Structure 1
Amino acid sequence: MAEPKKCRQCGGTFLYTTNDDLCFSCIQKNELEFQKIKNFLKEHPRSSVALISTTLDISVATIQKFIDEGRLEMVDKIIIDD
């Protein structure tokens, strides 16, 4: 059964039906940002977090979250996508 929950990212209320702490809108935004990073790395492999952040206007914290989740991997302070 769905119950109301506060989104960890945007603070909005959504009906909680899974183990995720994010609303559908934030999940979609995160996936879009991940795809942007992945596409950027195809063109510019082994880019730094700072370069990715600056070029794509995606926060370092968001990139770090993808690293922490294992979706991106750092190699000598450069990023590769899995």
Structure 2
Amino acid sequence: MAEVRNCSACNTLFNYTGIRDICQKCAAVEEEQYQMVYRFLRKRENRAATVERICEATGVSASLLYKWVRKNRLQQAMFPNLGYPCDQCGHLTYGAKLCENCSDTLKKEIKHLEAAEEFRTSVKKSENGTYLAQRPNK
């Protein structure tokens, strides 16, 4: 069952079906913009265009281009200079939410935390030795 939401682009009410977060009118405008960008990129001389160049030539916002790249509508294999910002640092990335540098940093931190947890576990195990509760009376 559809629910009523506000369009994230124009703030009008529409029936949200789980497919888009924008109304039909804004979706039609967005699709026209996508076709314009795609026609621009299909030209051989524009295939290596950067996000800034595409925005300048077509008038489409960078956030919309990033959205299309994330959804794989504009594929990085066909257009090598397209990417989207890393969720951590904002540097352009091409296949994941994090760039390679942030991903490596995160992996190192996880290894460090795992090593610390192993150390704590080994210390706890060594503390669980047997102890003499009372000294024997002589």
TM-score for both structures, normalised by structure 2:
0.50
Aligned 8 A contact 2:37 2:58 in 1: yes
- For 1:39 and 1:28, the matched residues in 2 are separated by 17
Deviation at 1:77, TM superposition (A): 5.7
Aligned 8 A contact 1:47 1:78 in 2: yes
Deviations for 1:8-64, whole angstroms, at most 9, x for unmatched residues?
Answer: 2221112x1521221001110111111011100111222111110001111111101
- Identical aligned pairs, as a percentage? 26
3-state DSSP of counterpart to 1:74: coil
Partner of 1:18: 17
Select the structure with the greater relative contact order (CA < 8 A; seq sep ≥ 6). 1
Of 59, 65, 68, the match for 1:66: 68
Of 63, 78, 81, the match for 1:78: 81
Residues 77 and 12 (structure 1), Cα distance of their counterparts in 2 relative to 1, 3 Å cut: same
3-state DSSP of counterpart to 1:72: coil
Aligned 8 A contact 2:5 2:16 in 1: no
Provide runs of 4+ in structure 1 moved above 2 Å. 1-4, 73-77
Deviation at 1:73, TM superposition (A): 2.4
Is 1:50 matched with 2:49? no
Residues 77 and 50 (structure 1), Cα distance of their counterparts in 2 relative to 1, 3 Å cut: farther
Root-mean-square deviation over aligned CA pairs: 2.0
- For 1:64 and 1:35, the matched residues in 2 are separated by 15
3-state DSSP of counterpart to 2:76: strand
Q: How many residues align?
A: 78
Matched letter for residue 78 of structure 1: N
Aligned 8 A contact 1:9 1:26 in 2: yes
3-state DSSP of counterpart to 2:54: helix
Aligned 8 A contact 2:4 2:13 in 1: yes
